[in-house]
């Protein structure tokens, strides 16, 4: 969608509203058209909040999942774009907050690159170096286990969200992530022992 | 569009069963309030002493307090239903504030008057224990039923919705209390009422404020 022409914008909004009303009644074709069509609009709203292209798709997908979950709350008598923009903004803010909380626990520590006299203190640095190998260990996992770790641990999705994204059952995801963690732990312990 | 996005859309479309649209929030709020009013009316007719209540209600201050509690309850419940939808303005949470100010002012004036009449004894704990238990007891079924209805909409700000709903429940419980509480409040009573209201709001927010799914 190219923003700019207000009349075209309004027409597009009315069209989306009709598609969503049809989707609420079970019209999958209208729903698919709608979801494809709204992605650029969601991306634009999310970009305005984040001001960085990094990680935007993750937020856009989160917004799509939320739209799906709350689609029964849309009233076709009201403007669709406003409804959608509010969801996109709210979810963006939630993701930003989650990220900033995560960053608050991460400190850039230049001294960490020094070697300390106390061997126990050096173990921390060694573990840090070993953590760099985690990416490799992750890459060596079977595809299903890697996907489970990525969705549940790295992208911090709930089991329900991850199940929707991956198309796999919650039980299967739990088993995969459990096996993946076990396998990663084994690989990391082996690498520390040298 | 990246590969992941295609997959997500495909899965959502596959999962797109027909859904029942929510009725307008004001209608849902009114239906809940009418159901509560019907149950409360039965309880009042059976258990309260309406003669004492009628005598007390002649006092304009109590009439103002009654209006304050009831309007706070109604306004907060309507606001909570509105706020549970994604496209409603956050300003709905301001709706219960004017009647809440009326409630606080009339209760405060009542206990000030009580203190003028009874002096330091006005500080004593009156019938607070009874009120405390009543407000909490009446609030539990109200809060549970309200939170269940509010969460049908999967609110984007569940904590705010539950807290505003909790205020509505506390207002209604405080209104009903006046039918079963034939005493003037002391300052301690007012403090204990406020504590009970705060507990109802906090517990409703904690229990109902988690994100759904």
pLDDT band at B62 (very low <50, low <70, confident <90, very high): confident
Q: Given this model, what pLDDT does residue A1 score?
A: 44
Average pLDDT over residues A58-81: 94
Supply the DSSP symbol for B144.
H
Average pLDDT over residues A10-37: 93
Interface test with B, best of A73, A94, A158, A170 (most B CBs within 10 A): A73
Highest mean pLDDT of the ranges A182-186, B138-142, B189-193: B138-142
Domains of chain A, CATH where assigned:
6-104 (1.10.1740.10), 113-193 (1.10.10.10)
* B24–A75 CB contact, under 8 Å: yes
Which residues 63-122 of chain B have a CB within 8 Å of chain A? 84-87
- Cβ-Cβ pairs closer than 8 A, A with B, add up to 93
pLDDT band at B107 (very low <50, low <70, confident <90, very high): confident
CB of B7 within 8 Å of any CB in chain A?
yes
Among A32, A70, A73, the residue with its CB nearest the CB of B9 is A32
CB of A138 within 8 Å of any CB in chain B?
no
Q: Are A59 and B53 in contact (CB under 8 A)?
A: no
Average pLDDT over residues B194-207: 80
Q: B85 to chain A nearest CA, in Å?
A: 6
Which residue of chain B comes nearest to A160, CA vs CA? Answer: B213
Sign of CA dihedral B25, B30, B35, B37: positive
Sign of CA dihedral A52, A57, A60, A66: negative
* A158–B154 CB contact, under 8 Å: no
* pTM (two decimals): 0.71
Which residue of chain A comes nearest to B7, CA vs CA? Answer: A165
CA distances A53 to A22, A94, A151, A172, B8, Å, are 33, 17, 20, 33, 20
* A68–B16 CB contact, under 8 Å: yes
- Does the pLDDT value for residue B75 go beyond 80? yes
Give the span between the Cα atoms of A66 and B158, in whole angstroms. 14
Give the span between the Cα atoms of B196 and B170, in whole angstroms. 8
* B13–A31 CB contact, under 8 Å: yes
SS in 3 state form for A6-42? Answer: HHHHHHHHHHHHHHHHHHHCCCHHHHHHHHHHHHHHH
Q: Are A59 and A50 in contact (CB under 8 A)?
A: yes
ipTM: 0.81
């Amino acid at each position: 969608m190219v923003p700019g022409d207000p009349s075209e914008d309004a027409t597009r909004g009315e069209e989306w509203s009709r598609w969503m009303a049809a989707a609420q009644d079970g019209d999958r074709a209208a729903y698919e058209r709608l979801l494809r069509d709204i992605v650029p609009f969601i991306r634009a709203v999310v970009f305005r909040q984040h001001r960085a292209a990094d990680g935007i798709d993750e937020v856009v997908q989160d917004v799509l999942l939320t739209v799906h979950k709350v689609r029964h709350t849309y009233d076709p008598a009201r403007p669709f774009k406003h409804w959608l923009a509010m969801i996109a903004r709210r979810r963006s803010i939630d993701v930003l907050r989650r990220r900033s909380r995560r960053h608050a626990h991460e400190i850039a520590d230049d001294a960490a690159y020094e070697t300390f006299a106390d061997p126990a203190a050096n173990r921390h640095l060694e573990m840090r170096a070993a953590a760099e190998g985690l990416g490799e260990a992750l890459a060596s996992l079977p595809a299903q286990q890697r996907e489970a770790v990525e969705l549940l641990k790295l992208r911090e999705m709930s089991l329900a969200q991850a199940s929707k994204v991956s198309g796999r059952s919650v039980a299967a995801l739990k088993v995969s992530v459990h096996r993946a963690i076990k396998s990663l732990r084994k690989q990391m312990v082996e690498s520390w022992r040298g | 569009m990246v590969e992941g996005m295609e997959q997500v859309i495909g899965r959502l479309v596959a999962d797109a069963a027909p859904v029942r649209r929510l009725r307008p929030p004001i209608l849902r709020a009114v239906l809940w309030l009418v159901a509560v009013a019907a149950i409360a009316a039965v309880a009042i007719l059976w258990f309260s002493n309406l003669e004492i209540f009628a005598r007390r209600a002649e006092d304009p201050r109590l009439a103002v307090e009654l209006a304050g509690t009831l309007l706070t309850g109604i306004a907060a419940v309507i606001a909570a239903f509105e706020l549970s939808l994604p496209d409603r303005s956050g300003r709905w949470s301001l709706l219960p504030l004017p009647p809440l100010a009326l409630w606080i002012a009339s209760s405060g004036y009542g206990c000030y008057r009580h203190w003028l009449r009874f002096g330091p004894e006005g500080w004593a704990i009156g019938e607070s224990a009874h009120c405390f238990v009543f407000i909490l007891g009446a609030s539990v079924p109200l809060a549970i039923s309200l939170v269940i209805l509010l969460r049908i909409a999967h609110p984007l700000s569940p904590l705010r919705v539950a807290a505003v709903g909790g205020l509505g429940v506390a207002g209604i419980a405080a209104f009903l209390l006046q039918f079963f509480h034939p005493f003037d409040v002391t300052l301690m009573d007012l403090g204990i009422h406020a504590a009970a209201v705060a507990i109802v709001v906090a517990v409703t927010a904690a229990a109902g404020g988690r994100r759904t799914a």
